Structure 1
């Protein structure tokens, strides 16, 4: 973990917005932005109580309720930041969902030593829920951020993807597909908007200690325990990577997808 004191002032005077900021990686990003000098940090989350609890720790932070599935809500939240602060310099998009039911079925198959059988019984509602938050939500956030940043001719957007887009876990097709779409969407947008001075990059974490990970059945968590690689990342370690991408030190990174999985595989 890189502590704020080590890079104090890296985001001095910046206006930042973080989605999914009520917990996990989003909360860690928000805390680090505040520690590194951001003059305003807007914490957006569908769980506004969680975002408010994090914001209370930070003198320059404000929590807002945003469901990223709702394009109008995303647009309104971004416009409110512009009205209050005049610009958005950094946006980190960490909002996302997994599918605990699918995870449980994969775990049961492992325990019973049988193939996981998820796709044949995956209903439309489960598919749409994951796609609506992870992929549609990313589109809504990217579009709103680009609209906000283009007049200023500058800005940094960092999207939290997933290593699941590369290793496509058995029994988890909807999540893997959503994150692969997130990566491709972000890279396509990155190539377009760099002409407007906006950089878009992606962090693709592997197993990370978050609330999402806490809901993972133990048998699946045990499967990630390999002495040849690093253990689960902390949310703060992933936040460090995200904020490197958002910083001036990463000025030449555009459309990058940084695989942060502790050495489990390379892409």
Structure 2
């Protein structure tokens, strides 16, 4: 591990805390892990289905280690969180950024836009595509919430931040499984938030709009250009979304419980 990361302007915000970030091998998860390290976290565990990618990020950061994790695997999530407790004795912050999209459905939508016709996705969407998105995005979120709550309850403190999506609100045409999965992510997070606030645990959600990540880079150009709007901010950066996630995880957000912060650059409001 390198000590190249310098403490940032909020260097004391996470001092002595132990954090875990899912989906930390790239994009928003990697940005969150880097910022936690820059803000004095005692330890941060980077979990990702791509262990090599998470390891490459962890190598940059003091107090960081990487682990392979498929959040759709409930036993694996439980085991990863238990490993954190065994190694560090506590879990103070969980940021759950792991998730998947559906490149095939995106291509169908892009092809329709290019041809000037309405997208026709639902009739062609098979059970496997639906189940994959739900298994990772929705089931995975429940697995992470459950394991985090079990770890945090004995200490009566902790902050959990879930990365949702503005797609839960605007429900993009031709993308029903992704929109439904993220709407479920928001709902389960809010339900858990109301339950565990009495235990000193805060759960909140960031709902990004278009963001420059590897997932966005794989989106067909015809679809990406459809998000362009001169009246609003361009694509967010992963660091900008990470800023919001870290605010929610910090003591400055002590009065935010079950919030869903829409971070879409002004594309729409709710």
TM-score interval (norm. to shorter): over 0.9
Q: Distance in 1 between matches of 2:254 and 2:118?
A: 45
Q: 1:240 aligns with which of 231, 235, 243?
A: 243
Aligned to 2:3: none
Q: 1:54 aligns with which of 39, 52, 57?
A: 57
User: Which aligned segments of 4 or more residues in structure 1 are displaced greater than 6 angstroms?
Assistant: none
| Runs of at least 5 residues in structure 2 that lack an aligned partner in the other structure | 1-5
1:58-89 Cα offsets, whole Å, 9 max, x none, are 01100001100100000000000000000000
Asked if 1:116 corresponds to 2:135, the answer is no
Asked if 1:161 corresponds to 2:164, the answer is yes
Q: 1:181 aligns with which of 184, 203, 209?
A: 184
Asked if 1:142 corresponds to 2:145, the answer is yes
Q: Distance in 2 between matches of 1:173 and 1:210?
A: 21
1:175-221 Cα offsets, whole Å, 9 max, x none, are 00000000000000000000000000000000000000000111111
Alignment of 1:126-141 (within 5 A): 126-141=129-144
Q: 1:226 aligns with which of 206, 229, 249?
A: 229
1:112-147 Cα offsets, whole Å, 9 max, x none, are 111100001100000000000000000000000000
The alignment of Structure 1 onto Structure 2 pairs a total of residues equal to 265
Q: Secondary structure at the match of 1:258?
A: strand
Q: Secondary structure at the match of 2:84?
A: helix
Alignment of 1:1-267 (within 5 A): 5-267=8-270
TM-score by length of 2: 0.97
Query: Greater shift after overlay, 216-225 or 196-205?
Result: 216-225
Q: Distance in 1 between matches of 2:43 and 2:71?
A: 21
Q: Distance in 2 between matches of 1:7 and 1:228?
A: 32
Q: CA RMSD in A?
A: 0.8
How far is the alpha carbon of 1:5 from its aligned partner? Answer: 2.2
